[in-house]
Each structure stands twice: as structure tokens, then as C-alpha cells.
Amino acid sequence: MGQLIFYSLIGGVFSLIGGLLLLWNYKLVQHLVTPLLSFAAGAFLGAALLDLLPEVLENSSKPQPFLIALLIGFTAWFILERLIMTYFFKHQHQQETHSDHTESLPTLLILGDSIHNFLDGIVIALAYVANPALGLTTTLAVAAHEIPQEIGDFSLLLYRGWSKRKVVVINILQSLLTVPGVVLGFYLGQALKLELPFLLAGAAGIFIYLAASDIIPEVHHRAGHKQFFSVVLPLLLSLSWVGLLTF
């Protein structure tokens, strides 16, 4: 359990690094966000397709049930995201013209990140229960997307007038929610050992969704028509990195 809790704290450390980088040099960080997002997309894809899914299919003669579980994970995350966007963040796109709706935006952002960190902890623990080495790869994939995510969060909260100290404290508290997530995930994985491969396949589907639906479109949006090597190379680097860790 001690090693697992250590894994859960890695993502928090990475998220704090992202925020502190922004506070240290705003202009430099703005140039790094897009390559970091591309790196995170590759890390998620690599963890899903080079580590989680092969672990599930290794001893299975019938892959179809696990591929269905992957599809369920992908679809469930899409539905969850639509629910959040429709019922919690429906006024976010109006922030430039309807200031009366933006007072709650920082609270909603913090709430969303807190839930996200808690769920990250569950996924890390499920992977760890299946195979401690798999837990490490999953942890690194989760951590890879924390830096660009927290840079964006820090930017918004500072823009809303929050003090640097307050933003850092909130970030630390959010990151600690990964710990109860891994504790719950650990006991969930122990209780559902027979269903664990299906849960891992579902987690792979979530990772693929995050990379393909959330992160890569954001990379395209930020890079526009100008950048090629600065976004392609980080993705290839992270895929190679995860592959090296796996094999």
C-alpha cells in the first residue's frame, strides 16, 4: 500500500511543477504547453495500447468481451463529460459577455479537477493490483498530462484575481485527492479480482478517449497550421518512452 500511495503522489508533484513553472516564467511556459499536451496524448495512448490492453489480452483466448469493455469505458467517459459540460459548465463559454455567470467558474474548475484526481487514483490502483509494473506505467501516463492541465488551471485562477499563494495551496489540496482514490481503487480491485481485466480494459478506453477526444483536438487548436515537429516529436517520444518502460 505504501508504494501505491507513493505512486498516487507522483501526479500531484507533476501538477504542482506545472503550476510553479507558470509562476516562474509565464512567457516560456506558453511556448511549452502545446508540446507538453502532445507528449501527454502519446503517454495516454501508449499506456492504453502498449500496456493496459496487452496485459488484459495476454491470457485471453476471446478478446471480444474485453474490447467491448474498452468501448464501454470510452463511451462512459464521453457521456460523463457531456453531463459535466451540459449541467455544470454550460455558462463557461459565455464568460466574455456574461460576467455574472463567471463568479462560480473557479469553484467549478476546482471541483472538476478534484473529481478528476480522485478518479485518476482509482485507475492507478486498479492497474497496480493487476501488476505493480503496470501501475507505474499508468501513474506516469496520468502524471504526464498534469503539467499542461495545471498550467491552464493556474492561468485561469490567476486571471480571476486569485493570489499565487492561494492557487498553490488549492493545487496541493486537489492533488492529495488522488490518495483516497488509490485506497478505494486498491480495495475495489481486491474485491473484484475476477472482473479486474474488464475494469482495466475500461480504463484503457478512458485513456484513449482522453487522448483522442480531449488532448489531440486541443493540440490541433493551439498549433494551428504552423507547427509540425514541435507537436509530432513529443508524441512519438512519449509513445517510445512508454513502450520502453513496458518492454
pLDDT in tens, 129-177: 888 888 888 888 877 777 666 666 666 676 667 777 887 788 788 888 8
How confident is the model over 206-211, as a mean pLDDT? 88
Return d(Cα 175, Cα 22) in angstroms, integer. 17
Q: Given pLDDT bands bounded at 50, 70 and 90, which one contains residue 211?
A: confident
Q: Is the pLDDT of residue 232 over 80?
A: yes
Rounded Cα distance, 26 and 17, in Å: 13
Residue 187 CB neighbour total at 10 angstroms: 13
Contact 133, 195 (CB under 8 A): no
Of 26, 15, 22, residue with least CA distance to 172? 15
**pLDDT, position 102:** 43
Position 86: which residue type?
A: T
**How crowded is residue 71: how many other Cβ atoms within 10 Å of its Cβ?**
14
Whole-angstrom Cα distance, residue 153 to residue 105? 11
Taking only the tens place, the pLDDT of each residue in 98-128 is 344 344 456 666 776 777 778 888 888 888 8
- Compute CA distances 97 → 85, 92, 105, 161, 171, whole Å: 18, 10, 14, 18, 28
Integer Cα distance of 126 and 189 in angstroms: 5
* Rounded Cα distance, 34 and 180, in Å: 31
Task: Write down the mean pLDDT value for the chain.
Answer: 78
Gyration radius of the chain over CA positions: 18
User: Distance (Å, rounded) from C-alpha 48 to C-alpha 55?
Assistant: 10
Q: In the chain, what percentage of residues exceed pLDDT 70?
A: 77
Under a CB-based contact definition with an 8 Å cutoff, are residues 34 and 222 in contact? yes
Q: pTM higher than 0.85 for the full model?
A: no
Q: Which of 189-193, 219-223, 243-247 has the lowest mean pLDDT?
A: 243-247
Count Cα atoms within 13 angstroms, Cβ side, for 148: 22
What local confidence, expressed as pLDDT, does residue 124 receive?
Answer: 86
